[in-house]
Amino acid sequence: MTIDHDSVPRPGRPLSGQRRPATGLLDRPARSAPRSAPPERRHRRPARSRFALPVALAAVDAVALCTATGIANRVLDPAVRVEPLLGVAALLPLLLLLNLAGGLYRTRLTLSVLDELPALAVRAVVAAAFAVTLAGCLDGRWPDSGPATPGRLTVLLGTQLLLAVCGRALLYHLVRRIRRNRPSPVLVLGAGRLGRRVAAALTARGEYGMRPVGFVDPDPPLLSGDTDLPVLGGREVLEREVRRHRIHHVVATAGAADEAETAAALRDAARLGCQVWLVPALREYGSLATGRIPGGDQLWGFPCLRVGRPAMGRPGWAAKRALDVTAAGLGLIALAPVLALCALAVRFDTGPGVLFRQQRTGLDGRVFTVLKFRTLRPSNEHESATRWNIAQDHRMGTVGKLMRRSSLDELPQLWNVLRGDMSLVGPRPERPYFVMRFSQAYPEYADRHRVPVGLTGLAQVNGLRGDTSIEDRARFDNRYIESWSLWQDVKILCRTAALMLHPDGS
């Protein structure tokens, strides 16, 4: 259940900062802290350079398939009239989609055709098998659907794979030459021993196309060492250095004196549009180097992991907003009778002013006005803004208690969702006063505001509502942001609906 901040906590209850009532569709207050202004998002790697290699790889595969199809269609005696074998129209779209889903068009640090050969072969066979099956189901009505004899399929797949491998080998050779001649400046997060060794490897190995310009570390250890690169400062200099050197890549390493500050700088770098690579300290992560983990790569023997794009920069985010608008709009229409009955009940219970308005902190620390049905009248504005609400407050009537237990008081927030102030799923919004308090107490709390706040969230469906740990809530909220997917939102909404059938009145 959520906290209605138009009510007041029990007199004399201290504000502990460790456990707080939660706010939200499934919780009673959870308070966020004002977050410092996030790094601006104006710095972006030019799309031309970011997509050049993926587009070139897709073009190589397309040319290889077109050429292989032409060769396979002529393996029989030209005097024998035979319909062409499955052609580009049947195979190319599926093959490109399979390669894209398998990460074969992803920019990598270590370019190796042999590493990609098994994946290329498997996907070519799958695409051909699907196309042949589809042509058979259509009884020959599929264009370019001649007899797919074993010999012709072998020629098609073998030629396509050979041409794709040769094309990629040539392309990778050109890319390495370009990287050596035009290295991209890079920042290394963490000036510890591992960071210095990685910087030295990047300096010596031009095929990675990265030229370290310095370290970002708030408290660098005193090491003599493998590199003469300067320590530029802590997190506060990151944005300045990214713009100054036009940084497109950041390598984050374990072993910094302040790991929490380095993690925060890593998030800032991603928000600034940089591609971030994480080099772990444990050698047990060596499986990353072989690519067995999605996004895994290696840098001169150091396993590294590509850090995904920020949640709001991923392709599915537009679908999330579309889902918000559609669900909120339909919900307001479908629930109009319920909203009207709730308004009449509140008017009867607490008098004029059925809606309660309160300032909350949302995306990037911006303040907006949240709407709820009034369940209790605070003594004054200061009490509403700075005191916690208690569900069992003696001033709350029967209507207020019922609306809180059923979360009906949250329904007006659908208007906030429709306006774009909130989302259906996200970290629960908090009052600016508590955002400031919690941000000071918990370093990761402010990171919750990287995405729009929501009616419900991962913390709430895991029981972190009511009088629960703010630190745990912040951890779950950041986990939600870093692992965001549209399917995760759907799961949280389903779990929210299930929990609302068993309200606990918290």
pLDDT band at 322 (very low <50, low <70, confident <90, very high): very high
pLDDT of residue 148: 59
Residue range 394-410: mean pLDDT, rounded: 73
At 115, is the secondary structure helix, strand, or coil? helix
What are residue 305's DSSP bridge partners? 278, 296
What integer pLDDT is reported at residue 422 of this predicted model?
A: 94
The residue-averaged pLDDT of 397-415 equals: 80
Cα 227 from Cα 216, distance rounded (Å): 14
> What confidence score (pLDDT) does residue 381 get?
56
Give the residue-averaged pLDDT of 176-203: 89
Single pTM value for the model? 0.71
Q: In the beta sheet, which residues pair with residue 358? A: 370
Mean pLDDT across the stretch 136-155? 60
Residues 337-369 pLDDT 10s:
999 998 888 888 777 778 888 899 999 889 999
**Over residues 300-323, mean pLDDT:** 86
Helix (H, G, I), strand (E, B) or coil at 369: strand
pLDDT value at residue 129: 79
Alpha helices in 367-500 (DSSP H): 381-386, 398-406, 413-419, 432-441, 458-461, 470-482, 486-500
Average pLDDT, the chain: 77
Q: Token pair for residue 28? A: 């009673």
Whether 81 shows a pLDDT value over 70: the answer reads no
Where does the pLDDT of residue 327 fall: very low under 50, low under 70, confident under 90, or very high at 90 and above? very high
Kindly tell me if the per-residue pLDDT of 181 is higher than 60: yes
Q: How many residues does the chain have?
A: 506
Selection from 9, 3, 20 nearest residue 471 by Cα: 20
